[in-house]
Amino acid sequence: MDMWILPLALAVGILLGTLGGSGAILTVPILTTLVGQSPRAATAGSLVIVGLSALVGMVPHLRAGRVHIRDGLTFGVLGAVGALVGSRLSATVPGPVLMVAFAALMLVVAGVMIRKRMSSAPAQSRSRGWPARVAAATVVGLLTGFFGVGGGFVIVPALTLVMGLSMTSAVATSLLVIAVNSAISLASRAAQGLPLDWGVIGPFAVLAVIGTLLGARLSGRVDQRVLNLAFIALLVVVALGIAAQNIPALLN
């Protein structure tokens, strides 16, 4: 792996530490476009990076008592079927189709973040019944298994609106859910033959973990509005670039 990729790995971790799970969505584009991995290898490697970063990033929240372990494990286990199905589906989808779908997901994340910026009303915490919990957890599991992302932009609202957690607790607990879903998805892919290049994934994961810890320390000192706006712009640019690179392959 080229040395200039390493600062990007650190940056992914910093974004994860400051923005939560959504920051890790840049891992797959980096591994495919800049490192040159196949979409299947990149989404599998991303699960390792995202899962480890979330697990380490959860530690400070756990010490502060913000992680609801029972709710997080419940949500993660409920999403197990979605994670397994998503992992299976990802292995059957052609690379260009997977990457165009991933570009669409990035645009959806950007749209959700823009809406959140424009909305002045905070999410109302409310615990709902099991059907709603199972549905929300399954969607999150599908995203994690299929795309190799944490799905934090979905998990945090789900934990707030469906599980009844406060926003602070939801952000902290989402890291536990991401770690659980990543582990389940990795186990499923391992059964199919996991294409991991540890020469790339190992250093990337270590630096992403370090970045996550740095990001957690910086989160209270950085203007979140500016950081969010810059991240939204980056998501849109990267998504359009991925789409432009892969759509022609679909049309041929």
What confidence tens digit (pLDDT) does each residue in 231-245 have?
788 888 888 988 998
Please name which of 48, 49, 73 lies closest in space to residue 62, comparing C-alpha atoms: 73
Chain centroid to CA 144: how far?
7
- Give Cα separations from 157 to 14, 34, 52, 112, 190 (angstroms): 22, 32, 22, 11, 30
Number of domains the chain contains: 1
pLDDT at 101 over 60: yes
* 164: DSSP letter: -
pLDDT at 125 over 60: no
The mean pLDDT of 172-179, rounded to a whole number, is 85
The mean pLDDT of 62-75, rounded to a whole number, is 88
Q: What's the mean pLDDT when you consider all of the chain?
A: 81
Of residues 221 and 52, more confidence is placed in 52
pLDDT at 94 over 60: yes
Write out the residue range of the structural domain in which residue 50 sits.
3-251
CB 71 within 8 A of CB 165: yes
